[in-house]
């Protein structure tokens, strides 16, 4: 990504975060200007927008969630020529927002773990994305392998774990040989007699016919709910396509019956849980449909990434309680409360809103038959 002496780069990450090394030395090596944001500015979209404008920033390296905060605050200045997104999945909806707000600004989607020296693939977004935004093709000197659990290559279009090779790899984890041997493994496809190493990223990707990669999610974020293996990134992408949604996060939380349930959190001033739930039902099969809750903002860690551990435990929305009117309704309400763990069930309560799901619905049916 070309950098010239006339460029200005905004640095808003901690010096302990690998991206900062890239921001400092890439810019200074080209004779460009480095602008360091004040502490905590990365948490305030309005402040970031003011810095971009005041210092005439031309290049913005950022995680997508920070870019979303900036766009929430207003349109970026015309001086901004390049945005480099890295560190999180780049939603197609966010790219569309960026192109609408700043059509002349070039957006690159980059990918790379700390163990492989910041970025290893890149994709310039030249057309409005219809689905997932690719993380692109390998950068120079980078070896990409998409393998199954037996370390065998998977076909084009099939999900597999991403392994990286090349001179940019770290040598391992300091004073941690056990972890090093698990993550840095011998490359069985190396032509070198001594054998090259490759880094096991833990990221699921899919190779496209043009050689680019789609990022599908983390293997350690993979959920297992009601017997199904689920990639939350797939559900989050669908939620972001729903009306009014700006961002989304999906987790599995234990229900009253002890079974995990899918819970989706969305943000957006115009997002409405019922509308999102209805539209998501048109995009996702039944076993992938989460409960939907609207938040003012998703929690983020110091590096700007979504902090899933700090997502709240949702409570059923407060509504006017409408008591059962006869014995039959009371018996049905008692069964629903027993299965969902709700303190009480009223005539206007939605089974799925109070913690029900397709699996517990079968238990409801069996108990009602018994009654």
Q: Is 369 helix (H, G, I), strand (E, B) or coil?
A: helix
The residues spanned by each domain of the chain are: 8-111, 142-217, 221-310, 327-370
Q: What is the pLDDT of residue 260?
A: 75
Q: From 289, 292, 267, 276, select the one nearest 243 (Cα to Cα).
A: 276
Q: Is 164 helix (H, G, I), strand (E, B) or coil?
A: strand
Q: What is the pLDDT of residue 53?
A: 97
More confident residue, 36 or 219: 36
Percent of the chain with pLDDT over 70: 94
Q: Among the listed ranges 58-62, 250-254, 360-364, which one has the minimum average pLDDT value? A: 360-364
Q: Give the integer Cα–Cα distance in Å for 230 and 214.
A: 17
More confident residue, 350 or 245: 245
Find out whether 145 and 198 touch, Cβ atoms under 8 Å. Answer: yes
CATH code of the domain occupying 8-111: 3.40.50.980
pTM score over 0.85:
no
Q: What is the pLDDT of residues 191-201, one digit of tens each?
A: 765 568 999 99
Q: What is the pLDDT of residue 257?
A: 52
Q: Does position 151 have pLDDT exceeding 60, yes or no? A: yes
Q: Does domain 221-310 have CATH number 3.30.300.30?
A: yes
Q: What is the pLDDT of residue 155?
A: 96
Q: Give the integer Cα–Cα distance in Å for 123 and 84.
A: 10
CATH code of the domain occupying 142-217: 2.30.38.10
More confident residue, 129 or 327: 327
Q: What is the pLDDT of residue 119?
A: 92
Residue 127: band (very low, low, confident or very high) from pLDDT cuts 50, 70, 90: confident
Question: Which CATH fold would you assign to the domain 327-370?
Answer: 1.10.1200
Mean pLDDT of 256-281: 86
Both structure tokens of 22: 């890239």
């Amino acid at each position: 990504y070309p950098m010239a002496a006339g460029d200005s780069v905004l640095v808003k990450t901690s010096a302990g975060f690998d991206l900062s090394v890239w921001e400092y030395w890439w810019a200074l090596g080209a004779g460009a200007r480095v602008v360091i944001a004040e502490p905590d500015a990365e948490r305030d979209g309005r402040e970031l927008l003011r810095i971009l404008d005041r210092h005439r920033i031309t290049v913005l390296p950022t995680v997508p969630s920070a870019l979303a905060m900036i766009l929430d605050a207003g349109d970026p200045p015309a001086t901004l020529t390049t945005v480099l997104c890295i560190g999180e999945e780049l939603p197609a909806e966010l790219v569309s927002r960026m192109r609408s707000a700043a059509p002349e600004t070039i957006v690159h989607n980059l990918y790379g773990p700390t163990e492989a020296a910041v970025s290893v693939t890149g994709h310039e977004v030249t057309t409005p994305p219809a689905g997932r935004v690719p993380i692109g093709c390998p950068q120079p000197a980078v070896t990409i392998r998409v393998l199954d659990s037996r370390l065998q290559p998977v076909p084009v279009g099939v999900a597999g774990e991403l392994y990286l090779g090349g001179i940019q790899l770290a040598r391992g984890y300091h004073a941690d040989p056990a972890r090093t041997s698990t993550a840095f493994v011998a490359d069985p496809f190396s032509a070198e007699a001594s054998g090259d190493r490759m880094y096991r990223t833990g990221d699921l990707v899919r190779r496209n016919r043009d050689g680019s990669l789609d990022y599908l999610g983390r293997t350690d974020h993979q959920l297992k709910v009601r017997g199904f293996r689920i990639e939350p990134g797939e559900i989050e992408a669908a939620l972001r396509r729903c009306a009014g949604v700006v961002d989304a996060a999906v987790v599995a939380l234990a229900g009253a019956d002890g079974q995990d349930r899918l819970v989706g959190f969305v943000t957006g001033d115009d997002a409405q849980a019922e509308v999102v739930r209805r539209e998501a039902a048109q995009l996702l099969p039944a076993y992938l449909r989460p409960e939907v809750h609207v938040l003012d903002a998703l929690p983020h860690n110091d590096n700007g990434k979504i902090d899933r551990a700090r997502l709240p435990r949702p409570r059923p929305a407060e509504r006017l309680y409408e008591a059962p009117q006869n014995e039959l309704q009371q018996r049905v309400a008692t069964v629903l409360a027993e299965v969902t763990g709700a303190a009480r069930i009223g005539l206007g309560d939605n089974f799925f809103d109070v913690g029900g799901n397709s699996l517990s619905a079968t238990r409801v049916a069996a108990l009602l038959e018994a009654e």
